[in-house]
Amino acid sequence: MPFVSKRVQGIPPYLFSVIDEKKKRLQAKGMDIIDLGIGAPDLPTPDFIVKRLTKELADPLNFKYSGYAGCQEFREAVAAFYKNYYEVDLDPNTEVLTLIGSKEGIAHIIPAMIDPGDVVLIPDPGYPVYRTAAYLSGGECIDLPLIPDQNYRPDYKQVSDQHKEQAKLMFLNYPGNPTAATVGIDVLEEAVRFAKDHEIGIVHDAAYNLVTFDGYKAPSILQVPGAKDVAVEFGSLSKSFNMTGWRIGYVVGNKEIIRALSIVKSNTDTSQFLPIQKAAAEALTSDYSTVDQNNRIYQERREKMVEALQKIGIAVEKPRGSFFIWAPVPKGYSSQGFAEKLLEEAGVVITPGNAFGPSGEGYFRISLTVPSERLTEAVERIKALQLEVNAHVPDS
Ligand X SMILES: *Cc1c(COP(=O)(O)O)cnc(C)c1O
Give the footprint of ligand X on this chain (CB under 6 A).
39, 101-103, 127, 173, 177, 205, 207, 236, 238, 244, 249
Contact 222, 83 (CB under 8 A): no
Amino acid at 396: S
Per-residue b or e along 133-142, where b marks 16 or more CB atoms closer than 10 Å to that residue's CB:
bbbbbebebb
Minimum CB distance to ligand X, residue 39 (Å): 6
Minimum CB distance to ligand X, residue 382 (Å): 24
Nearer to ligand X, 238 or 262 (CB): 238
Minimum CB distance to ligand X, residue 180 (Å): 11
CA distance 284 to 234: 14
348, containing H or E segment:
strand 348-349
Nearer to ligand X, 172 or 305 (CB): 172
Nearer to ligand X, 239 or 341 (CB): 239
CA distance 97 to 271: 9
Chain centre to alpha carbon of residue 273: 23
Nearer to ligand X, 173 or 212 (CB): 173
Nearer to ligand X, 333 or 364 (CB): 364
Minimum CB distance to ligand X, residue 146 (Å): 14
Minimum CB distance to ligand X, residue 100 (Å): 8
Minimum CB distance to ligand X, residue 31 (Å): 28
> Which 3 state secondary structure label does DSSP give 51?
helix
Nearer to ligand X, 129 or 260 (CB): 129
Minimum CB distance to ligand X, residue 35 (Å): 16
The contacts of residue 217 (CB under 8 Å, 6+ apart) are none
Nearer to ligand X, 36 or 312 (CB): 36
CA nearest neighbour of 176 among 48, 7, 359, 13: 359
Query: Please, is 8 exposed, middle or buried when counting C-beta atoms within 10 Å of its C-beta (0-12, 13-18, 19+)?
Result: exposed
CA nearest neighbour of 335 among 379, 370, 376, 366: 366
Bridge-based pairing state of the strands 140-147 and 153-154: antiparallel
CA nearest neighbour of 154 among 139, 138, 171, 141: 171
DSSP one-letter string for 252-289: EE-HHHHHHHHHHHHTT-----HHHHHHHHHHHTS-SH
Nearer to ligand X, 226 or 245 (CB): 245
Minimum CB distance to ligand X, residue 239 (Å): 6
